[in-house]
Structure 1
């Protein structure tokens, strides 16, 4: 959706949502994030000026970001918007916790998993106005793995390396997607992981994907994380599952089994590659994951439960 189309979708004199009282609103803007840009702070200020509340726009600055986040949370606004990268949005939500102000993470990063799940769009202007005009208090569940919070999904194991391939494919970079895919397949059988769910029997898998209730297709209530174990026996299966990771929902594959869990222990012979809400990282040889039934409170409209990929951009 273009900026003009997003603006035209709303009336000239917009009304605030009836579900949440808003007198003070703060927005943190990182102009250096991939999906933001140098004019974003001015654009955000212009949009916020249309509404009847006190608005504060803070431009995040390099080494001061952590202090600026702390200051914004300490001010206790009614809603704290975050227009920045995926990591910054996760950090703000994690620091706010269940007792903090309402958090509204706008799509300003690369993957934008959490904003897309909450607002159904990758256009931050449209997401901002949807939150202001249709938003309500929504508890967001999630998980924490070795101190890193996530609210959509965590992929643990060698297939985490497929995530860069999928993102390259979605952005039309076919050669880069192929290179990432070949690298993932080479590492697919160099280290299987062992895991146990809620203290149960240890099992082996190629990878374990932990999916939050926010985007899970099998859970309507926040009873745990959807634990999806990938079990492969040969390279042909790995190639098929890698292709499904690029083009389809791999959870429909017969080699993927799922069940809910609240506490997960994972180990491997070497360091475990992971993707946490779209951000790649390397964990130690042992890791534990804990379910957070109410990780933070978001300001977001109720969207149809059609799955994580069903946004209006078709991604």
Structure 2
């Protein structure tokens, strides 16, 4: 385990002031995450040494990672940066909650949905500098599905199986994309979801996408999740909708209907495939999703007026 304070800047190098009123900065780095690498901790130290703050960099290692993260949170820094996978970033934000330090999840995973929503980039060094130079405390809303927190979106239903294939194709992992694609085709249309929004009538859909106010293009107020029911008529439409979901304005598609909701109940005849903020997982045959209007506090630039986060 490496746990070291960032080296002091050269006396001839001016140290930049942080935009937010924070002094104690901590960053946890998992070098084994897909978008990180073995030199990331040293590179983060070099960047932090240019700023007028007390900085600590911790390299996450092996089975002790949960304890290392708990120690970093317990130290109560003003802001905790997380350079690791998508699941780790979600977990740290959930553990911090509203009472913990500011959280800044950097893009170190595969899909990086939360970092991209907050910082508009998949480059972790650029995201780190943006947070330091422009970041302000920001309350982030989200949702919880069967104990799993999400802050961007949850895709429930068979089209969720296409998301890993699409991401593998985007990153050039053709063999992995083929494996995910075969699994998606095998699972597609084996059963529709039954869902209810805020205790209303039960309806059916091929998939349900629940989108947080952080990235929703339809939500004006932070008063719920945007619930989008997807009803493609065939596999080709399902692939198209899943490929564009969350990255394009697919909500104008006639096969998609949306409305806000604070509580969502979902059921199916078999276990429900899902993608939670970019992380594939399998839920039970029934699941409940609840809206969290104040989930955690992030350090992120304020979006320009009228501009979407993604």
Assess same fold via TM > 0.5.
yes
Report the alpha carbon displacement of residue 13 of structure 1 after superposing the two structures with TM.
Answer: 3.8
Deviation sequence 1:138-194 (CA, Å, 0-9, x none) = 111100100000011100010110101221332245665455445424422101110
- Per the alignment, residue 50 of structure 1 pairs with 50
Pick closer, same or farther for the CA change 1:239–1:163 going to 2, 3 Å.
closer
Give ranges in structure 2 of 5+ residues lacking alignment: 1-12
Pick closer, same or farther for the CA change 1:161–1:37 going to 2, 3 Å.
same
Question: Residue 98 of structure 2: SS of its match in structure 1?
Answer: coil
Question: Residue 195 of structure 2: SS of its match in structure 1?
Answer: strand
Give ranges in structure 1 of 5+ residues lacking alignment: 1-11, 310-315
Cα separation, 2, equivalents of 1:61 and 1:78 = 23
CA root-mean-square deviation = 2.1
Deviation sequence 1:220-268 (CA, Å, 0-9, x none) = 3211111000113444543553565599543231110011111100011
Cα separation, 2, equivalents of 1:21 and 1:247 = 33
- Per the alignment, residue 187 of structure 2 pairs with 187
Deviation sequence 1:8-60 (CA, Å, 0-9, x none) = xxxx7453344x21121111011111111111111111111111121111111
Mapping of 1:219-234 within 5 angstroms? 219-234=219-234
- Per the alignment, residue 204 of structure 2 pairs with 204
Moved more, 123-132 or 229-238: 229-238
Question: Residue 130 of structure 1: SS of its match in structure 2?
Answer: helix
Pick closer, same or farther for the CA change 1:176–1:247 going to 2, 3 Å.
farther
Mapping of 1:264-303 within 5 angstroms? 264-303=264-303
Cα separation, 1, equivalents of 2:246 and 2:54 = 44
CA contact (8 A) 2:163 2:243 kept: no
- Per the alignment, residue 144 of structure 2 pairs with 144
Pick closer, same or farther for the CA change 1:139–1:159 going to 2, 3 Å.
same
Pick closer, same or farther for the CA change 1:63–1:173 going to 2, 3 Å.
closer
TM-score w.r.t. length of structure 2: 0.89
Deviation sequence 1:61-113 (CA, Å, 0-9, x none) = 11111111111111111111111111111110000001111000011111111
Cα separation, 1, equivalents of 2:275 and 2:49 = 38
CA contact (8 A) 1:169 1:246 kept: no
Mapping of 1:1-315 within 5 angstroms? 13=14, 15-18=16-19, 20-173=20-173, 177=177, 180-235=180-235, 237-238=237-238, 240-242=240-242, 244=244, 249-304=249-304, 306-307=307-308, 309=310
CA contact (8 A) 1:146 1:288 kept: yes
Pick closer, same or farther for the CA change 1:33–1:182 going to 2, 3 Å.
closer
CA contact (8 A) 1:119 1:303 kept: no
CA contact (8 A) 2:194 2:203 kept: yes
CA contact (8 A) 1:181 1:242 kept: no
Cα separation, 2, equivalents of 1:49 and 1:254 = 52
Cα separation, 2, equivalents of 1:81 and 1:245 = 28
CA contact (8 A) 1:14 1:133 kept: no
Question: Residue 77 of structure 2: SS of its match in structure 1?
Answer: coil
TM-score w.r.t. length of structure 1: 0.88
Between the two proteins, the alignment pairs up a number of residues equal to 297
